[in-house]
Structure 1
């Protein structure tokens, strides 16, 4: 099924690219002068097996790609923000829950604050001293958080976004990132989901409307290029 779906999407994208190009979509926002890496929900409840939120292609693709990006950020002193999600009141019957109404759609009660082993960032890409750990309550890493203010204070103009899921938290973060005035870059190999076709479709649509989809190799080169310019200044 997955192979057939991929083939169908490839044909659909080929046709859509022509339509979008004709109508002026798929422009490039480009890389800026100061980047930050924003890893969205790469916590154990999403990266390890056996959870409601478990995603595909974590071990063989997403984690190795993020490790490359982290190494480039760390050797060049670029800001890194690790984003996760958890809730102080995970009782669906409590009218004062910080889950809002999201629990009416998906099982967000599966990541209560008193189970840190679930919402902790995956140990293979865990934060080091000086990196931000940001807890969000909604899909976007910007919604109701200090992320935009932190990035602006650091002089950041470009965000490289990784994580899960392409169809929800990553997409919402990218859309809000552009709305907040940041050049948004989706790192292709470092974005995942649970449903066949979700990554391909969302990355195609993001690239047409909200940010540039770039390969991890290109992003690592960019991080090093910017870092070398700063070091030489």
Structure 2
């Protein structure tokens, strides 16, 4: 039995036990889809989507990018807002008092995405933004922390955010947590969220679904974007 198979079996056993506990205590409720969605793609920039970088994630080419392409197409044909989120820093000298890295550099190598190297923090060309779509630069894990994201969404009367990107254990998770705290219906698109470490996506999505967002399959999210875009009732 391979490591991946063993890990999947162990996680599924843990999820089954945790589901019984959660449901017995009233967790795993549904936040549901609203009437005005927006798509938030978190850190689907070259430093995370292309090989050879400290932040490179798994399942990008075969799963995440194709899935996000489907979501983008649905948003674009229906006029739903899209926000592409990336991360970069102006001052990557950790000894400089003017650094905008905060203390995060003490945990992870964020200095590699310096603002002077746009080829690293530019959004992946396969899901390149089009006119009218926002490109938002963040400095911390959450796309909401210290940014104009919540205000932009409210100004567009958005009540539901569909979140994709990387990583499940950090920037995607914190964006979903903060999104719910800001009063938005939070939807995690299952096939469009990645990470670097085996098991990280499965565990985080399970736990997120119990507490902070609805984890929904790509097909259901595309259907929703098309349905709500035509003025029909969303589930």
TM-score bin, normalised by smaller chain = over 0.9
1:6-155 residue pairs with structure 2 within 5 A?
Answer: 6-155=8-157
Deviation at 1:95, TM superposition (A): 2.1
After TM superposition, the score normalised by the length of structure 2 is 0.97
Aligned match of 1:159 in 151, 158, 161?
161
Aligned to 1:193: 195
**Aligned residues, how many?**
230
Deviation at 1:93, TM superposition (A): 1.9
Deviation at 1:41, TM superposition (A): 0.1
**SS of residue matched to 2:101:** coil
Aligned to 1:209: 211
- Aligned equivalents of 1:58 and 1:91: distance in 2? 30
After TM superposition, the score normalised by the length of structure 1 is 0.98
1:169 aligns with 2:171: yes
Identify unmatched segments of 5+ residues in structure 2: none
Aligned to 2:183: 181
**SS of residue matched to 1:20:** helix
**SS of residue matched to 2:115:** coil
Q: Hey, which bits of structure 1, 4+ residues long, moved more than 6 A? A: none
**SS of residue matched to 2:206:** helix
- Aligned equivalents of 1:51 and 1:72: distance in 2? 30
**SS of residue matched to 1:229:** coil
**SS of residue matched to 2:190:** strand
- Aligned equivalents of 2:213 and 2:78: distance in 1? 23
- Aligned equivalents of 1:5 and 1:92: distance in 2? 38
**SS of residue matched to 2:231:** helix
Residues 191-210 of structure 1: per-residue CA shift (max 9 Å, x gap): 00000000000000000000
Identify unmatched segments of 5+ residues in structure 1: none
Residues 74-106 of structure 1: per-residue CA shift (max 9 Å, x gap): 000000000000000011221220000000000
